[in-house]
Chain A
Amino acid sequence: AAGLDRPQVVSHAQQALNYTLFDCKWVPRSARLLCLGSAARGSGLLQLYELRGGRLALLREIEKAKPLKCGTFGATSLQQRYFATGDFGGNLNIWNLEAPEIPVYSVKGHKEIINSIDGVGGLGIGEGAPEIVTGSRDGTVKVWDPRQKDTPVANMEPVQGESKRDCWTVAFGNAYNQEERVVCAGYDNGDIKLFDLKTMSLRWETNIKNGVCSVEFDRKDVNMNKLVATSLEGKFHVFDMRTQHPTKGFASVSEKAQKSTIWQVRHLPQNRDIFMTSGGAGSLHLWKYEYPSQRSKKDSEGAEMGVAGSLSLLQNVTLSTQPISSLDWSPDKKGLCVCGAFDQTVRVLIVTKLNKI
């Protein structure tokens, strides 16, 4: 039966929460996960759960002044495992979860809510200094180094007088050696901008018409290979980032899958051609990207341009009636993932048969 040979999404454990969940992340090298969000009383909550048997056991609950929107482990070492969060007041904080009363690093980075955060250079992945990038509703994207207080090491802001657009998502990529790094940012008017941090310039920009909810490179620590950008109205685009054409930019293939907003895309850490998208109708779709026979070709003037591949849907499942706003694969166990939805439930899922893909 072809149906049962495909990867299945098995619900392993779930937990009902009493606050709005905005982000959930696995703690690296463990079976623990962090949930963060906004409590009804207007404060931020951070909860640490451990996967025990078929259930989630609450280990720790930390309350903070402002509701928390997003967080990442990306810029911390494996021994320390400090967690960086962005909150509704525009503050970036890095917490030591063993002693969370005082942040290890804190800065009021933005004037408005930090919508998205990403970290690179930590966890033994990639090279170069650990850095954190935040994207905010005030239209700016800032890169921070935890060793430098108060001022960002890079700031991408609109020119004077330009009306600002909310930045909804940020992602690091291309960090394959100590100098190279790019930041990709998606905005609410459909702009996607690629900033090169080595040359401190705008490397590429495009507009996909609908607001960009989530961008992610398939791997942060390699020469940039693929970028997935998801947007409102159920569309997402996969860009082939190996070949940049001087005028046409990067080749892309797009897919319109779920009828509602695609909130998140996350690549499987163990296989960079498989990724999962989560939708506004509470559904998850598992996709596989297939490369074309030739990844680049010459156009009429002889300039190299990329060739986009094709996408196939491996599986889809509907878990909830509310949007699934956050998704994270476990870097340690292939197929284990956690997702958080606006129905105040965090679910741990296992995707089977990924070895056979």
Chain B
Amino acid sequence: MPVWLREHLWRQTASAVYLSLPVRGLRVTPANIFCTDRYLKVSIPPFLFEAILYAPIDDTNSTAKIGNGIIFFTLYKKEAAMWDSLTLANANKEKLQYLRENAVLKAHEKAKEETEAKKVTKQEHKKYALEATMKLEEAERKRIEDLKEKERQKVTKELELWKEQQDAAEKQKRVQKEGELHQEVEQLKEKKKEKNNKTSISYEGTSETRIKATKGRGSYSMFSENLKEEQLPAPRSAATIKINFTSRVFPTALRESRVAEEEEWLRKQAEAQRTVSADLSELEDLKEEEKNPDWLKDKGNKMFATGNYLAAVNAYNLAVRLNNKLPLLYLNRAACHLKLRNLHKAIEDSSKALELLTPPVPDNENARVKAYVRRGTAFCQLELYTEGLQDYEAALKIDPQNKNIEKDAEKIRHLIQGTTQ
């Protein structure tokens, strides 16, 4: 139950009501005061003062002054009339309730309207500012444009002037030339006859075609041309200069090169050289050079060349144990296995070599061709002709110029067709 504040004093004039409400000891803030056009409430819990006003007031202009222990209201009446009392006399509970609610609603609406009005003004201010800046920038731009335009016009005028000068000069020259021509025609005809007898055939040929072409232009130009030719050196004696183009590690221009792939390949090679297999315990009794995969590879190659295939395989096996990332070891071992007719091993080794020969770059083309060919051969000897043909065709794709591969591929195709029929 609120505590009603009843000690209020009021007086009025024709247009306003002055109400003073003592609130001894209480702290009042504007939030505690609630006022609409017919209802006034001051709520400082637990104290409460409310008044249903006798007549409507202008609540936007009315003021409340919060002083020391007292609130002083100045309420401006909507209609200038004298009130009988501050509040409505016969106010029953329901009416009170209704009025209160109404008042609250009205207050809400007013608040909403106010915020909206604020928004609108803010927008307008922004717009105005924007337009102002745009105008300024426009002015600046225009100024620069004007400067440029002035330059342009000045320059155009100069150009026109120059052009006129050119035209005048040309006309003059032409008139002059025609005058000279009449004097010289006879002389030059004589000279030309002489020259035609002396010069070589090709010379004459060109000058004749030129005569035909210049017919329309006027004869003077041809004659003056002949004169000048006498002063020029003879055509150069023909010669050829042979040139070479810059080679790169990969013979492609920068714009064509697949640099990324090529770098990868180079890196892989470098890494492969460095890997050393972990399992060295059994290999301790080997000589120093026998631990070098390259040396072993060379050994293997030599033995392959002499026909000692088993020894070559041994050498390659050891090399692989030391460094299993060198594709050439597998490639050469595959060749040995082919000769030894270990066809499955040959296929395995060729496949391993191909795996290691990625990414496919021009540098490892040869190696890849060999790998495909060897695997293809192995397949064919196992009578797996379709797989063999696939490998041969892959080889052919890398190296289309190779006649042997083409011939072999053809043979395989015939074989396949023969068996299916």
Contact = CB atoms under 8 A, between A and B. Distances in A.
A39 B224 CA distance: 37
Nearest to A148: B235
B242 interface: yes
A10 B241 contact: no
Contacts of B243: 156-159, 193, 202, 205
B170 A99 contact: no
Interface in B211-244: 212-217, 221, 224-225, 228-229, 232-244
Contacts of A159: 242-244
Contact of B246 (A8, A128, A191): A191
A158 B251 CA distance: 15
Nearest to A30: B166
A129 B170 contact: no
A175 to B, nearest CB: 12
B212 A79 contact: no
A4 B147 contact: yes
Interface in A89-106: 96, 98-99, 102-105
A156 B241 CA distance: 5
The secondary-structure label for the interface of chain A is: loop
A60 interface: no
A202 B241 contact: yes
Contacts of A30: 166, 170
A147 B217 contact: no
Given A99-B214, A102-B212, A128 B155 contact: no
A313 interface: no
B156 A54 contact: yes
Contacts of B162: 31, 332-333
Interface string A115-137: 00000010000001111000000
B233 A129 contact: yes
Interface string A341-357: 00000000010100000
A146 B232 CA distance: 12
B148 interface: yes
A314 interface: no
A10 B253 CA distance: 38
B421 interface: no
B151 interface: yes
A149 interface: yes
Nearest to B177: A79
Interface in A140-180: 143, 145-149, 151-159, 162-165, 178-179
Given A152-B238, A162-B245, A211-B255, A96 B217 contact: yes
B239 A154 contact: yes
A130 B202 contact: no
A191 B243 CA distance: 11
B226 to A, nearest CB: 11
A12 B225 contact: no
Contacts of A179: 233
A210 interface: yes
A321 interface: no
B213 A104 contact: yes
A188 interface: yes
The secondary-structure label for the interface of chain B is: helix
Given A12-B159, A77-B228, A210-B254, A153 B238 contact: yes
B241 A128 contact: no
Contacts of A153: 235-239
A197 B233 CA distance: 14
B152 interface: yes
A179 B210 CA distance: 26
Interface residues of B, number: 49
Contacts of A128: 232-233
Given A31-B163, A96-B213, A102-B213, A155 B155 contact: no
A79 B242 CA distance: 37
A352 B396 CA distance: 62
Contacts of A232: 255
A4 B206 CA distance: 54
A22 interface: no
A53 B163 CA distance: 10
A163 B251 CA distance: 9
A47 interface: no
A189 B159 CA distance: 42
B206 A31 contact: no
Contacts of B213: 96, 99, 102-104
A200 interface: yes
A266 to B, nearest CB: 19
A149 B215 contact: no
B251 A147 contact: no
A195 interface: yes
Interface in A202-238: 202, 205, 207, 209-211, 232
A195 B241 contact: yes
A148 B202 CA distance: 7
A149 B244 CA distance: 28
A277 to B, nearest CB: 19
Interface in B166-222: 166, 170, 202-203, 205-206, 209-210, 212-217, 221
B163 A154 contact: no
A165 to B, nearest CB: 5
Given A333-B162, A350-B155, A207 B246 contact: yes
Contacts of B254: 189-190, 209-211
B205 to A, nearest CB: 7
B238 A154 contact: yes
A201 B156 contact: no
Contacts of B166: 29-31, 332
B239 A147 contact: no
B279 interface: no
A238 B148 CA distance: 32
Given A98-B214, A207-B246, 14 more contacts: A4-B147, A99-B215, A103-B213, A105-B209, A153-B235, A153-B237, A156-B240, A157-B241, A189-B253, A200-B239, A210-B253, A211-B254, A211-B255, A350-B159
Listed from nearest, the 3 A-B pairs whose CB atoms lie closest are A189-B253, A145-B235, A153-B236
5 contacts: A80-B221, A153-B237, A163-B245, A232-B255, A350-B155
